[in-house]
Structure formats: structure tokens, C-alpha cells
Structure 1
């Protein structure tokens, strides 16, 4: 019989993601169809905007001490076609059977012989209780709301005048949503359409239905013309001098024409603008209102073992409320409790939970 809780986690313990997400490419919505939104690399002449009250030596600007007004940069931009009447963004996802999320569970040199076997049994027991619980339905409803409200559109959502989200399964429309009318900061009052989507998500996590979801958002910005839109940004270590912002895109950059007569090209098409799958996944799992300071902070966090928030640059979960702590108590954890639902979402997220030496 397994102990009520484990003194330590196995030395090798990892869970694979319980959700499969694709990138989300951008498309111009035209009167006669759709066309890709492209990322274009070009030069700009901006101004120096350094906080002169700050420490120039620690400034993020490479040349903070310069007194020049001009700030010459190379940057990437994604803009709608001048004839576009809207932006379309679409991606696919599928929720996997929770029975398959345990990826690795093996002992370290100091682990007791029966730890791994007992812990595997503990995971299997928690997952079975999860599948029979209302906790899984609540987690699925929260994922459904974050699909419906278009949180995954990030900055594009905040500048849109209207956003519609359509979800289809096997070519059949499952649900439609007015994204801007769907709450971002709480998960109360789940609508019938959200519930229908949540039932499909829960069926996937229970291993009852493996059909994927096709999701498309259509954004009307209230204007027509070559409006800037916002795909994911790439992080680049040691960027070249004067290089401002690389954007994520699909495909291959066009080759530069060095025989153009002038010896240079003023713009270069880099590829098809898109939101990265990782960024979409982060938005979809922004469902953690179970952390202790939710009433104070007032907004959900992405499900992270320690409640890490890049936006606030803070950890919102301490050792007692972390996923690592709940992982030690799977045998007694109620899947319908706040901690249990957080742990369900943590298993869907996946990650490495390997334990260290016993304290």
C-alpha cells in the first residue's frame, strides 16, 4: 500500500505535455479570399530614448552614453495587405489521454528500490481519480474559455475592434464566440458554447475522443490599409549592432538580389508571420486562479510549477503550494480541490519534476 505522501520524488521524473499545439499563421482577409501576412525586414531611423536618470552603464541600450538624437535600426515588421478588411489567425490543437503523460520515472543512486514502483502506482491512481472527477471538467472549461476569449492572440486582441473565434472538429462547426465579450480574468459563468467545447477537451483528456480542434480568429481593427499586426518575437542572444527586433515567421527568407544595380535591397521578405506554438500554449494554460494571492493579484497565471509570472517577474507559489509539493501528495490529493485541479493542469503542461536528495 502506498504511503499517504512521498518524502521525496524519484530521481528521474518527467511528464510529457498532454496537449499538442501548432503554430498560428496570419492571413489577410480580402474580398476574394485570403493571402499570407509576410514579415518584412527593413531599416528605420528612430530617436534615442534613454532614461538619463538611470545608470548608463547598466542600460539595455548598447550605446546609452551617446548623445546623438538619431537611432538607426534594422527591424522586422508584419503588416496587413493594403486591401485587407480583416486579419485571420488559425491553429490546431489536440488534447491527449492523461494515461500517457508520465514520460520517465526512474530511481537515482540513493532512491529506495520500491520508490519508483510506488510512485508510478500513485500517478496512475491520481489520473484515474481525475478522469472520474469534476476537477477535470473544470480544468477543461478553463481551457475552453481561453480559446473562446482569444487570449492567445496577445497584442492583436487588445487593438481589435471585434474578434470572432470559430472552432471546428472534422470540418464541422462546434462553437463560435465573441472573443471581446468573453472574460479574461475569471472563469465564472461558463456559457453553453464554452461548455460544449470543454466537453470535447475533457473527452480527449479522458481518452474517449482523439479528434483535433481547428481554431480560427477573425479580427476587425476598424480600419483598412497596411496596418501593423503582431506575430511572436524571437529572442536573439548578442544581436548585431543596430538590430532592433526579429519576428517569428514560417518558410524561408527571400534571397537578396545583389545584382539589382544599386547593390542593395531596402526590404527583404523573411517569411509568413505567425504566433509560435509555445506562446499559444502559454496563453491557453493561463488558468491558475488557485494560487494563494489571486484575490490580491486579480488575474490568472499561466500554470507553472512555482507560479512563475514573466509579466510580474515574480513567483506566486511558495514551496508549500508548488506543483512539486502536490506531486509528493498524489495519493491523498483530491482532483476536485484547488490543489488537485492545479496538479491536473500541471500534468497537462508537462515538465521535469525529478527529486533531489532526501532532506
Structure 2
């Protein structure tokens, strides 16, 4: 199969989350009062605990004498608060059948036809239900989800023509399994599917999520990537993210959690966990790409065939290709 003829090809993302702002509250008063969480700066004296070089093993006492001084950001609830509140919005957009940039008219026609056929047959139902499940199960809390006593997610539709809302007990919603979804999850999924399929222009959701983690406990905003590796002792070794002095989570991190729906990669039976939708199935914290180009199961190998009206081997490959297009990106063939 020849590669796609379009050298300029880009798709805008169709799931657009906002940053998530973090507040402290109590479980009993979670619906009525909350206060923005501020970052706190700490200076800590640690010990040398990294692996030593062979030449340094005899000098461990001298190493231990040198204190490991660090200045770090932290964030915690107050002694009166036991619950973390996370607030963000999610906009779902239509128009996945139209690239935002494409310099080859013939390709554009075959691609549009392929997506139209997919929508006619599958209506984005499977993909949208998985997005809805990840909203309901609170996976976007990431580390804050671990060890919490209670977890609740409230979702409101903000479109003017709808008053839909749902409340989920997130600990009852599995983060690893997309079968046996509740009626509320599939109802929300149907709204997402109708938007992705083009029946509605957009869908705007507001998410308020609550995790009972315990009084005074640490909570975990996003950590900033420090590109300036200045070794000065006055530089902070950990910088947390905030929006106007309110602790926050990156929109990219929230989006990554929502699109962690790929159970169609070959090693799923061994790994047992869904991975985020990515052209090569990349999981950076494991240093692995689960969709290898050599095996022709990566996005580009499948997309080259799908976009030129060639039938893929199974419906799971079609779901994967469409989920990457919803994610968006630049996919042109370099010349």
C-alpha cells in the first residue's frame, strides 16, 4: 500500500480539557464551601540515598556528612479539611471527518469517505463510552486517587439547551475495564458520541470531583518540567503548577487520563492495563512503545490503509485510528 500523498496533514484535537483547579473542603460540606489550595515552599535536609559509583563506595561516611539540602514546593489540606476538590471543564468538538490542514484534494475525499463510513457503522459509541467511563471513575485524579476513602464525580452539561447532570461514586467504576458500564455512563457517552459524529456542534461539560484523602494530607498538583538545570542551591528542586496562586493540574495530564482507553494493543492480555491513545502506544514511564511500526500496528501503518478506503483487519484497529484522530496531531508525509 502506498503512503498517503498529503505532505501537509493536521487534525485539531476534539477533546479539549481545561486546567484543573484544586480546592480544600470537608466531605460533609463539599457541595457548599471550599477554599483554593495554595502551594507551600519547604526547605528540607535529606540524606544521600542514590546509588554510588564503585570508586565512591569507600567514602560513604564523607558523603553522608554532606547534607542533601533541597527547596521544594508542596501542597496539603488544612487540619480542618479532609477532602480535595478538583474543578475543570471539558469541551467535545465535532468535525473529525475534516482535517484542519490538507494539501491533497484526492486524499481528502477518500479520508472523508472512510470516516463517514465509520460514523455510519459505529457512531463513535465504543470510543465515547470509554471517555465517559474515565470521567466517571475519576482517573484524572492520578496519584490523588490512591488511598482515598471516598471518591465522587459530579458532571453538568453546560450547553444552553440541556440540563443534564450525573453523580458518580467513582470507586464503583473500574479504571481497567470498559465492559458492564452503568446506564449513566452510557447516557453521557451517547452525548459525547453524538458530538463526535457531527449531530451536535459541541458539548461542554463541567466536572467537580471530590476525593476524601484525610485531614492535613498532602495532595498532588502537576509538577513543572524545569528546563533550566541550574545547580544553584537556591533553586527549587521541585516546582508545582498553579494558576493565579491556586494549585492546579495541567490540562494535558487530565486529557491523558481521559484518553487512556487503548485496550486494543497486542500486549494487553499480559499488561492488563489500558494505555493512553498514542500513535506508537508510547508509555514514557515504562520506556516502551506498545505499537511497533515493524509489526504494522502503529497508527501510521493503519491510517495509510484506512484513509485510502482499504478495509482494516478488525474493528478494534478502526477504533484505534479514530481515537488518534480525535486526539489530533500532525500526520503529513515528509518530503
Is 1:339 the counterpart of 2:317 in the alignment? yes
Question: 2:113 aligned with 1:117, yes or no?
Answer: no
1:85 to 79, 82, 85: 82
Structure 2 residue 329 is matched with structure 1 residue 351: yes
Match in the other structure for 1:104: 101
Q: Deviations over 1:298-325 (max 9, x none)?
A: 1111010011111211110111011111
- The number of residue pairs the alignment matches comes to 315
Compared CA separation, residues 336 and 81, structure 1 to 2 (3 A): farther
What's 2:33 paired with?
A: 33
Alignment deviations for residues 138-165 of structure 1 (CA, whole Å, 9 cap, x no partner): 0001101111111111000013111011
More strand by share: 1
Per mean C-alpha deviation after superposition, the further-off stretch among 326-335 and 21-30 is 326-335
How is 1:318-333 mapped onto 2 (pairs within 5 angstroms)? 318-319=292-293, 320-330=296-306, 331-333=309-311
The TM-score, its normalising length taken from structure 2, stands at: 0.88
Deviation at 1:333, TM superposition (A): 3.9
**What runs of 5+ residues in structure 2 fail to find an aligned partner?**
57-61
Q: Is the 8 A contact 1:307 1:316 kept in 2?
A: yes
CA distance in 1: counterparts of 2:257 and 2:203, whole angstroms: 21
CA distance in 2, matches of 1:135, 1:349: 17
Could you tell me how far 1:25 is from its partner in structure 2?
Answer: 0.3
1:12-91 matched pairs, under 5 angstroms: 12-30=8-26, 31=29, 33-52=33-52, 66-68=63-65, 70-91=67-88
Q: The residue matched to 1:211 in structure 2 has which SS? A: strand
Runs of 4+ with deviation above 6 angstroms? 53-56
Unaligned runs of 5+ in 1: 57-64, 107-115, 252-270
Query: Distance between the aligned counterparts of 2:98 and 2:40, measured in 1?
Result: 40
Indicate the SS of the match to 1:33: coil
What TM-score comes out, normalization by structure 1 length? 0.82
CA separation in 1, counterparts of 2:286 and 2:82? 35
Which among 186, 189, 198 is matched to residue 195 of structure 1? 186
Q: How far apart are 1:133 and its partner, in Å?
A: 2.5
Give the Cα separation in 2 of the matches to 1:245 and 1:152. 21
RMSD of equivalent CA atoms: 2.2
Whole-angstrom distance in 2 between the partners of 1:55 and 1:335:
56
Instruction: Work out the CA distance in 1 between the residues paired with 2:120 and 2:67.
Output: 63
CA distance in 1: counterparts of 2:225 and 2:14, whole angstroms: 26
Of residues 218, 224, 229, the one that matches 2:219 is 229
**1:220 aligns to what?**
212
Q: Which structure carries more helix by proportion? A: 2
Contact conserved, 1:333 with 1:339, CA < 8 A, in 2?
Answer: no
